[in-house]
Copies of this chain bind each other. A is one copy, B any other.
Amino acid sequence: MSAVSCTAAVGRPRAFDMQTALEKALDVFWTKGYDGASLSDLTSAMGINKPSLYSAFGNKEQLFLKAIEFYESRPCGFFKPALEQPTAYEVAECMLLGAAKSMSDTSHPQGCVMVQGALSCSEAAAGVKEVLIDRRQQSESEVRDRFELAKNQGDLSKDEDSEALARYLCTVINGIAIQASSGATEKQLVDVAHMALKSFPRNS
């Protein structure tokens, strides 16, 4: 009944840190994809047994959804900071360079779990595939909205097609994700980012 109960400290306390375990699970899904990640892979990476996984996270699908939710909100993410750049061009530049650097970073799996988590997949993964498609579409819409804002702020010509610009940007970033997961180096991807920027309208 207590409305201020924080973390419900009743019963045997959990012997593992949920956040740490979630990050380990993310690494597994990122590397192997939803279909390719078995519960054995997950539990051994997380350092827990199956009943602990199920009681803490529900099931494999819910674990995946929580993992990508964390992924999108990570402080080291490149997407949200880029949107806060002052001009549309700088948003594109920051996002492309951020993607190139982040996705080739060897301190975590290469590429982007939002892309490679479930691209072509079994029926069992159809749900998470849909979620990933929605999230990517959502991101594209955020970029488009940012470019619409730029038009109003005057740093992007009203003649430009915000939606097409956003789609182009996200397409290149998806391509960078594929290249990164194929082993491309940071320099190679940064070069690609710079080439892609040449297409982007610059005000000055």
Contacts and interface: CB of A to CB of B under 8 A. Distances in A.
A149 interface: no
A167 interface: yes
A5 interface: no
Contact of A121 (B32, B109, B161, B177): B32
Contacts of A172: 171-172, 175, 196
A121 B168 contact: no
A21 interface: no
Interface residues of A, number: 50
A164 B120 contact: no
A120 B171 contact: no
A150 to B, nearest CB: 17
A121 B33 contact: yes
A121 B36 contact: yes
B195 A198 contact: no
Instruction: Tell me whether chain A's interface is mostly helix, strand or loop, or mixed.
Output: helix
B178 A125 contact: no
Interface in A177-203: 177-179, 181-184, 188, 191-192, 195-199
A174 B119 CA distance: 13
Contacts of A176: 171, 175
Contact of A198 (B179, B192, B199): B199
Interface of A: 29-33, 35-38, 109, 111, 113, 115-117, 119-122, 125, 133, 136-137, 161, 164-165, 167-168, 170-179, 181-184, 188, 191-192, 195-199
User: What are the 5 tightest A-B residue pairs by CB atom distance, in nearest-first order?
Assistant: A175-B175, A33-B120, A36-B122, A171-B175, A174-B178
